[in-house]
Amino acid sequence: MASVVESLPQGLVSHSQSQKSADTSVLADWEIQAEKCRKVLRESLNPDWLLPARQLPSAEQLDVSTFIETCGFLSTRELEITATSATKLVEQMASGSLTAVETVTAFLKRAHIAHQLTNFATEFMNPDALEDAAELDAYFKATGKTKGPLHGIPISTKEHIEHKGRIAHSAYVALVDNVAEEDALIVQCCKEAGAVFHVRTNEPQSVMHIDCSNPIYGTTVNPHNRTLTCGGSSGGEGASLGLRCAALGIGTDLGGSVRVPAAFCGAYGLRTTALRNPYKGVCLPGAGQESIRCVISPLANTAEDLGLFQKAVLDQEPWEVETSLVPQPWKQASPLKPGSFTIGVMWEDGLVRPHPPVLRALRYAVEKLKSAGITVVDFEPYNHQEGMDIVSRLYFPECAVTQKDLLEKGGEPVAPLSDFIFNFAPPRPLTIQENWAFNVRRDAFRDQYHKIMKNQGVDFILCPAYVGPAAKLGDGHYIPYTAIWNLLDQPAITFPTGLKVEPTDTPYSDFKPRSAEEDREYNKYSPEEYAEAPLALQIVGKHFRDEDTVAAVELVSKIVQG
């Protein structure tokens, strides 16, 4: 069985990648616990679907985004299957020209190679996935019909989304004995719609980093440049969709955790309005904190597939089980036409200027949209400093005690990025009255932002997805370009522009930092270090206008990429 670590830049991945069982007599207590999960991963791999180490790219080859297409392991038909959108795969299976077993097998084989390249998986579910696919084929043969709108579609899921009988630990060693008693509700909904779950994916320690590394499995890297992170916290999902290891993916988003990985890896990532998608069955410490709600949302390789997923899930009426959800079915929006809506362009957030390639992508997109007849106006961000002051208090109102206690109990090393994110917490736990007061400020901020958009006639905001094209490994710090929309509870989607970092994206000659934070972020950039990184942007809609936001991205992305 080939070793993943041999194909990666030295020092990027640790712990889980040895294919041999660890000698527990020389491990620290926390590593003995972590080894339980590493063993699950090792034993879930199919050795017939792994490349020998000699056939893997060298450590010096940083861009492995097209390696699977050229390595010769997948057949031409398997490559065609994995390059096809979820929407079209369902159509092909409905016509009988493609089987679920064929589809799932192709994605499983691709995912095994991708794991060797990026270390994105925490567990493969090969036997169950193939058995489920065979049952779907038998159903189709007997009835001539597909089971549902996601019939035979392979879906990857972030590790802390629960699957019955499997460990869900949320990257905390203290939770590695937590075995799910039932599938998460969103998993149940997808299965009812005919989906097949085939692989679970990595996440960072604390599940709050724009990065993807933890002491249990090690580091997941970006397939476009393996010195860059795939993003986080749904980082494994970003790598999964970026390398087309799944037709759809499911992650969670509290500050950009679906959108950032999608942006970094060249996929589409949706952050829905809260209380639309079922959240029951997500293992995430801090349950009951509702001032800023975490949402569960899809990643895809087309905007159309985001809508496919949303309709399939909400057609199951999950609010009949999870009664806190808003009983709002997915009402497919009519295709948008140029001239029927206005996009406001937010060139920066007023706090940290984006890196040169990001602004180039934004200028490029604006030019393309205007040429296509889209109404585009400038949009000034409203007091994002106030927004971030609020959100930084509401992420950890109890001073991150929950997370810190779990790390202390588990005994694993605390990553610098965990310390960084915990510093967002207030110096002491908020009192109930103080939490209420921040909720009042939050709601007032939401109302004012909506009023400004409405007064300016702006239907959607086009803005950066991140301050840069990606972040270096262990160096992702700046979350406001995505987190602000979590505070505002507005639907947002990151999408690829089709552009990437070029050598001509040189640093600004006129840069004068407005703060230490802006200086820190600016000094991280050079075109050489971000070579080959894809450039993404973000479209933001209005509260509960998720369908319109997906429709906007369907049109905008086609124009920008065209």
Bond prior to 371 in cis (omega within 30° of 0): no
Residues in the chain: 562
Catalytic site includes residue 18: no
User: CB within 8 A of 48, min separation 6: which ones?
Assistant: none
User: CB within 8 A of 404, min separation 6: which ones?
Assistant: 422
For residue 398, how many other CB atoms are within 10 A of its CB?
16
Q: How far apart are CA 545 and CA 539, in angstroms?
A: 12
For residue 113, how many other CB atoms are within 10 A of its CB?
24
Q: How far apart are the first and last CA of the chain?
A: 42
Catalytic site includes residue 257: yes
Element (H, E) at 31: helix 29-44
Nearest CA among 464, 106, 470, 80 for reference residue 266: 470
Write phi, then psi, for 219 (nearest 5 degrees).
-105, 135
Q: How far apart are CA 30 and CA 428, in angstroms?
A: 28
7, 213, 240, 257: the active-site residue: 257
* Contact in structure between 251 and 202 (CB atoms under 8 Å): no
Catalytic site includes residue 58: no
158, 191, 500, 542: the active-site residue: 158
Q: How far apart are CA 201 and CA 221, in angstroms?
A: 12
Q: How far apart are CA 37 and CA 557, in angstroms?
A: 39
* Contact in structure between 81 and 162 (CB atoms under 8 Å): no
Strands (E), 242-351: 248-253, 268-271, 295-300, 342-345
206, 213, 233, 418: the active-site residue: 233
Query: Would you state the torsion angle of the CA atoms of residues 120, 189, 307, 255, taken in this order, to the nearest 10 degrees?
Result: -50
Nearest CA among 243, 317, 295 for reference residue 489: 295
Q: How far apart are CA 50 and CA 113, in angstroms?
A: 6
Kindly report the CA angle at 402 between 396 and 407, in degrees rounded to 5? 120
* Contact in structure between 307 and 341 (CB atoms under 8 Å): no
Element (H, E) at 123: strand 121-124
Q: How far apart are CA 357 and CA 430, in angstroms?
A: 40
Of the CA atoms within 13 Å of residue 263, those in its CB half-sphere come to 33
* Contact in structure between 475 and 519 (CB atoms under 8 Å): no
Question: What is the set of active-site residues?
Answer: 158, 233, 257
